[in-house]
Amino acid sequence: MKNLLWLACCAMSVVGFNSQANSELTVYTYQSFVSDWGPGPALTKSFEQQCDCTIDWVGLDDGVAILNRLKLEGKRNKADVILGLDTNLIPETEAINAVQAHQLTLPKLAIDWQDNNFVPFDYGYFAFIYNTEKLKNPPSSMKQLVEEFNGSILYQDPRTSTPGQGLMLWVKALYGDDSSQAWSKLKDKTVTVTKGWSEAYGMFLKGEADLVLSYTTSPAYHMVAEQENRYQAAEFSEGHMSQVEVAAISATSQQVELAQQFLSFLVSAPAQKIIATTNWMLPVNPDAELPEAFSTLVQPKPLSIEQHTVSQQRQQWTKEWRNAVSQ
Amino acid sequence: MIKPASIAGYCASIFIALVVAAAFWGLAEQAQVLSWSAFNDPYLWRVLRFSIWQALLSASLACIGGVAIARAWFYLQPKSINWQLRLANLCFVSPVILVVLGCVGSFGINGFWQQLSPFSWKLYGLPGILIAHCFLNMPLIARYCYLQYNDIPASYWRQAKQLGFSQSRSWQIIEWPMLRSRLAGLFGLVFLLCFGSFTVVLALGGGPKSTTLEVAIYQALRYDFDPLFAMQCAVLQLLIAVSLGWLLLGREQQEAKRIQQNILVQHQLSKTQRRLHQAVVLGYYLFIGSILLGIFSPLSQLNWQQLPWDKWLSGIGWSLLIALQSTLWVVILGGAILWQYSSNVVKQRRMLAGRGQELLASIMLLAPAMVITTGLFFLLISRADINAYTAPLVALINALMSLPFFIRSLKPALSDAIKQYAKLNQSLDLPAISQLHLIYWPLIRRPLALAISLCMVLSLGDMGVIALIGSVDVVTLPLLLYQQLSTYQYALASATGLIMLLLCTVIFYLLELTLGRHHVKHL
């Protein structure tokens, strides 16, 4: 009786909802990548012209959520390509055997790159963005932001979002064992911690905070798409945490060739131009054409933490953040 | 000889017991790694403290407000009281995500209250949680307290009048002692509901500072992938909910006897007293009204050119699919249990097992849905492709959640009908099938229609289970609404809310039209 019902229910849920095309490339990524204004639509159009396939984008909350998803689904994940993790998450992703070697020869890249599994597709520096018409004296260092700044800030949850995780590492790199105190001070200025980048940036544009965590490249969007100069990145004297976003072929992919083709496409100059001007990050392919606005951006001093240290300490640091801001 | 009715009833009970046991098995498997030292986590205790604190505050506010409204209703005796009570009931069963939307639309940063007022305030965090919990529970408390007020014997009031009691005096001597025990039970119930509240806290919480155990379970699985922490939260949640629920169920038995209706007493009120009571009722409707208005106020900004019809259609599809499956489960399980119950009523047997079975059927009131869901999730994730089972699994858990409501709303009608016609049936020696067809069916059609639509609406409005185990492919209407809300697309969220409300109305109407028609009231 029970089994019969179960079967009936399964049958009911299958009807009408699963229509699979023959060669379909499933890409796990973060929500803002596939939003109407993100790189998703233009990349889809461009790639589908050359591959005779369709791309099925699965937009998850944000970068770290992709890794959580892979852990949760294990070998049962449906992804062919995993796009949108950053270098800090590489060791953990490799440890759960979620990816396979791409076996591609990459073009000459703007950044130093060694990894055999992951392909970088853009990079950037985290920064707090402010509205020059509303905030006259933005903080000029992390120390000023933590100690003296009186305004309000918005950032993303380090448990789901790579920018949020970037801020966590940024604070860690500068404050070390005193990070907990720094977080307690930041807590009082925080409007809210959002799950993903798009929520925080959307709230900032609605005027709900003075500063929002994003990238040094974000002002380029406003300059190019809106001819608007009032949004600028606050340059911090200690330097800015850098981020390289990466993509890889899923270990469970049944369409390795198609996935390889997609990754090659991703680092090609035309795709890189799309990514730079829709994801608003710096292209890894130096041949990609860039609008003028990119040359006016802040050129920060890069900061980073060695990725294996991150992978060992990430859980611990996340707990430290969680405990500090929940007090 | 064992009757088919008993077989069916026991089968249903065993099935429920199996599902619950499977969930606990899933949890226990994870518990191998659970140790006492793991509980030495300050965050866990902070989450527990906040869960209890917000539930205490919510329940207190709801009780204070509820009693004030009940008192005002009782003294004013408005003509529309039946409608007002019905509205209060609707508030309690309204889909929670719609209430969240209403809070954001009215009290949120872009809501009309902040636009109108010179001050600005933060909704996210404790204020938002309290407002939403009050909307859901205050009307319920007001309704039950009002009924309790009506049970105060008229002689009390006559004596109070003779002795010239002031309002405060009659509150102290008459009203409070009569309300006290009822209120304690209601307080406990609301505390339990708020303690296990998921959707409200997830959507209105605003960061790790205001997180409850249920939300922490969700975050541990979805954000950190930390099964141990999810497990710890589930254990704490279960311990507290079960011990509180046990106390509450005990209370319920004592209060089962109904006192008969009294003749209405006209109360003489001074002008200021009357004004005061009117102000309370006005304030109540201002609160309810602004949240209802908040659901639809963002609609004005909707871009009618670009509507996500595909998302809505698939949302409606999944929601209906899950609701229908869930109702199927409820009707089968509930039907079997009620069949056994009615055959016991006919034979005027009171069985010890019956009480246990009823407790089992109410399991979801005690064991929070998130705990059962987490358990089943752990059990299945290591064994099967959980994505393929999402819809049936959500439907099954939703069914267990609405089963107690289904049984409770049908039981009185069924037992009345049986008590009245059982002897006649026996003397006529009608076969069972004709008894059902000719006598009982016409009598229980309407209550059945109501109970089924209640179950469908409960499942249609549920977001917790689907949010925890749902995959990206299965997005029901409430989940879509939540996604739109959390990306600040208020206008779209509002439109989705409207679709949800329309769907609920259509379900009630269709069931009333088909099943509820030709209802016969017995003499």
Which two structure tokens, joined as six digits, stand for B140? 């319920």
Q: Reply yes or no on whether the pLDDT at B252 is more than 60.
A: no
Any idea what the Cα angle at residue A69 is, between residues A186 and A57, rounded to 5°? 105
Alpha helices in A27-129 (DSSP H): 31-34, 40-51, 63-73, 90-95
**3-class DSSP state of A218:** helix
**For chain A, which residues score pLDDT lower than 50?**
1-5, 7-21
What is the CATH number that goes with domain B1-32+305-523?
Answer: 1.10.3720.10
Whole-angstrom Cα distance, residue A205 to residue A221?
A: 13
Q: Is B49 exposed, middle or buried (0-12, 13-18, 19+ CB in 10 A)?
A: exposed
Residue B465 confidence (pLDDT) = 87
What CA–CA distance (Å, rounded) separates B313 from B323? 15
Does B486 have pLDDT greater than 80? no
How large is the average pLDDT for residues B23-36?
Answer: 75
Report the alpha-carbon distance of residue B374 to residue B26 in Å, rounded.
Answer: 8
Helix (H) or strand (E) holding A54: strand A54-60
pLDDT for position B306: 79
Put simply, the answer to whether A13 touches B390 (Cβ < 8 Å) is: yes
B455 to chain A, minimum CA–CA distance in Å? 17
Q: Which residue has the higher pLDDT, B128 or B120?
A: B128
Alpha helices in B81-153 (DSSP H): 81-93, 96-107, 112-116, 126-150
Task: Characterize B387-415 residue by residue with b for buried, 16 or more Cβ atoms within 10 angstroms of its Cβ, and e for exposed.
Answer: bbbbbbbbbbbbbbbbbbbbbebbbebbe
B392: nearest CB among A1, A6, A17: A6
Of B124, B386, B392, the CB nearest to A192: B124
Contact residues, A window 172-201, toward B, CB-based 8 Å cutoff: 187, 190-195, 198-199
DSSP H or E segment with residue B175: none
Residue B166 clears pLDDT 70, i.e. is over it: yes
Higher pLDDT, B155 or A270: A270
> 0.80 cut: is pTM over it?
yes
- Residues 6 or more apart whose Cβ sits within 8 Å of residue B40: none
Above 90 in pLDDT, residue B55? yes
Distance CA A178, CA A172 (A): 8
- In angstroms, the CA B81 to CA B88 distance is 10
| Identity of the residue in A13, A198, A326 whose CB atom sits nearest the CB atom of B208 | A326
Question: Both tokens of residue A247?
Answer: 């993509």
* The pLDDT of residue B257: 45
Given a cut of 50, whether residue B168 has pLDDT beyond it is: yes
Domain boundaries, given as residue ranges, for chain B = 1-32+305-523, 51-295
Q: What is the mean predicted confidence (pLDDT) over B487-500?
A: 87
Give the CATH number of domain B51-295; options: 3.40.50.1950, 1.10.150.450, 1.10.3720.10, 3.10.200.10: 1.10.3720.10
User: Which residues in B10-44 are b (16+ Cβ under 10 Å) and which e?
Assistant: bbbbebbeebbeebbebbeebbeebeeeeeebebb
Cα gap B180→A283, rounded to integer Å: 69
Q: Which of B43, B206, B385 sits opposite A192 (nearest CB)?
A: B206
* Residue B413 in this model has a pLDDT that exceeds 60: yes
Which 324-353 residues of chain B touch chain A by CB within 8 A?
A: 324-325, 328-329, 332
| CB within 8 Å of chain A, chain B residues 394-413 | 395
pLDDT confidence of residue B353:
59
With contact defined as beta carbons under 8 Å apart, do B29 and B234 qualify? Answer: no
Q: How far is B381 from chain A (nearest CA, A)?
A: 8
Q: Across the interface, do B219 and A159 touch by the CB < 8 Å criterion?
A: yes
pLDDT band at B32 (very low <50, low <70, confident <90, very high): low
A23-123+243-296 and A124-242+298-325, same CATH topology: yes
Distance of alpha carbon A223 from alpha carbon A221, whole angstroms:
5
In the stretch 254-283 of chain A, residues with CB closer than 8 A to chain B read none
pLDDT tens for each residue of B255-294: 444 444 555 667 778 888 899 999 999 999 999 999 999 9
Fill in the DSSP letter of residue A116.
Answer: S
Q: Please tell me the predicted confidence (pLDDT) of residue B33.
A: 65
**Mean pLDDT rounded to a whole number for chain B:** 84
Q: What are phi and psi of B441, to 5 degrees?
A: -55, -55
Give the pLDDT of residue B388: 76
Q: Which of A47-56, B162-171, B348-357, B451-460 has the lowest mean pLDDT?
A: B348-357
The pLDDT value recorded for residue B324 is 95
* A10–B395 CB contact, under 8 Å: no
Q: Would you call B359 helix, strand, or coil by DSSP?
A: helix
Distance of alpha carbon B362 from its chain centroid, rounded? 13
In angstroms, the CA A220 to CA A276 distance is 10
Q: What residue segments make up the domains of chain A, in order of their start?
A: 23-123+243-296, 124-242+298-325
**Window B:139-178, CB contacts with A under 8 Å:** none
Contact: A17, B222; criterion CB under 8 Å: no
Q: What is the mean pLDDT of residues B380-402?
A: 84
Contact between chains at A76 and B124 (C-beta distance less than 8 A): no
Partners of A322 on chain B (C-beta within 8 Å) are: 43, 208
Residue B259 is predicted with a pLDDT of: 45
pLDDT of residue B519: 59
Q: What is the rounded distance in angstroms from the CA atom of residue A46 to the CA atom of residue A49?
A: 6
Phi, psi of A30, deg, nearest 5 = -95, 160
What was the pLDDT predicted at B424?
A: 80
ipTM over 0.95? The verdict is no
pLDDT of residue A5: 46
Confidence of residue B26 (pLDDT cuts 50, 70, 90): confident
Facing A326 at nearest CB: one of B11, B46, B318? B46
Mean pLDDT of B485-512: 87
Are A196 and A162 contacting, i.e. CB atoms less than 8 angstroms apart? no
CATH fold of A23-123+243-296 reads D-Maltodextrin-Binding Protein; domain 2 (3.40.190)
**Burial (CB count <10 Å: 0-12, 13-18, 19+), residue A173:** middle
Helices H / strands E in chain A, number of each:
13, 12
Beta bridge partners of B281: none
Q: Please determine, looking at this structure, whether the domain spanning A124-242+298-325 carries the CATH number 3.30.450.20.
A: no
pLDDT at B253 over 50: no
pLDDT band at B337 (very low <50, low <70, confident <90, very high): confident
Please tell me which of the candidates A5, A58, A68 has its beta carbon nearest to residue B472: A58
CA A290 – CA A89 distance, rounded (Å): 28
Nearest CA in chain A to B333: A2
Q: Which tokens sit at B281?
A: 């009722």
